[in-house]
Amino acid sequence: MTSDRTSAILYKELSAHALQCLSGGVASAHNTLFKPTRETWLNFKRLHLDQIDTYKQGEQVARRPGDDTCKYCEKFHLSNLKTIDKNKDISLGKQLEDCFSDFFNQELKHREINLTCIRADGFDQQQPDYMHMPDFKIIDSKGDAVFYFEFKAIFRPYLKISEKVRADYECYSHSQTLDISNGKKLENQRNLVEKIGVKKVVYVYWYDIPCVKGIFWLSAQRVYELWDNGDTPRYKRKTVAGDLNDAGYLRAAVNKIYLPLPEMANFDSLFELIQTG
């Protein structure tokens, strides 16, 4: 079985796990969230796998298909514009992180990889900058960290990305965002990553939009290259209700960069990377 087929099976299993562990569901969820099908596998192949080599050669990503899935996605998401509720977003994010790490540990055990996934970030009075650490670390039986990853979940595409950010971006190919806030959030994390070893860190995306579904990842080294070179434009989204706290201060990240799906690797290869170091 190919690594891509294995990744599709893994995502189907993760989706079933998510339906069990997310007690309150996901607000404004599209009707195929956590429901991968043969159609989404075909889209995974057409919109991701088939474009990896051509994208490396400098070709633009293919235009979005414009099929019934696209029509549903556009109608649904443009008529259900997301409202920001920071407290609920934090709660959902925590549930997703717990769900993913639980599944990840189950898969490590299934593969007989003697490693464990635990949280890596958090406030430490001795090292206060640890709150900027990547979300998770992989530890060995001695408790030593051998790998780290930042975790993001994207369940709705940026439909107007080609209009608002860059004309050659498509909603399916560049909706995997990374917050940079005022420029310091990503910079602070990068400083920590470079201390622990940039080759030991990746950015992981739980990506489930109507057309493409899966777990994808990009190395921290490549993320920082794209950021440094300006290959992924920085964009400040419109501030909406819920971005501000009661005192009127911005607490949500509105400055973002957009990472390319064609450069990302699949779920199965993440386990291979961790195992081989």
The backbone torsions φ and ψ at residue 111, rounded to the nearest 5 degrees and listed phi first, read: -85, 0
Structurally, the chain folds into a number of domains equal to 1
Residue 126 pLDDT more than 60? no
pLDDT of residue 245: 46
Q: How far is CA 193 from each of CA 99, 167, 169, rounded to the nearest angstrom?
A: 24, 32, 28
pLDDT: is 124 or 191 the higher one? 191
pLDDT of residue 239: 55
Tokens found for residue 167: 């004309």
pLDDT of residue 87: 72
Helix (H, G, I), strand (E, B) or coil at 153: strand
Four-CA torsion 218, 215, 275, 102, nearest 10 degrees: 130
What range defines the domain where residue 132 resides? 3-276
């490590």: which residue's tokens? 108
| pTM of the entire predicted model | 0.90
Element (H, E) at 96: helix 86-110
Average pLDDT, the chain: 89
- How far does the chain reach from its first CA to its final CA, in angstroms? 23
pLDDT of residue 255: 80
Report the alpha-carbon distance of residue 65 to residue 50 in Å, rounded.
14
Do 144 and 18 touch, CB atoms closer than 8 A? Answer: no
Helix (H, G, I), strand (E, B) or coil at 267: helix
| Mean pLDDT value across residues 240-250 | 48
pLDDT: is 88 or 72 the higher one? 72
Tokens found for residue 147: 């790998």
pLDDT band for position 262 (cuts 50, 70, 90): very high
DSSP letters for 236-258: EPPP-TTSB-TTS-B-S--EEEE
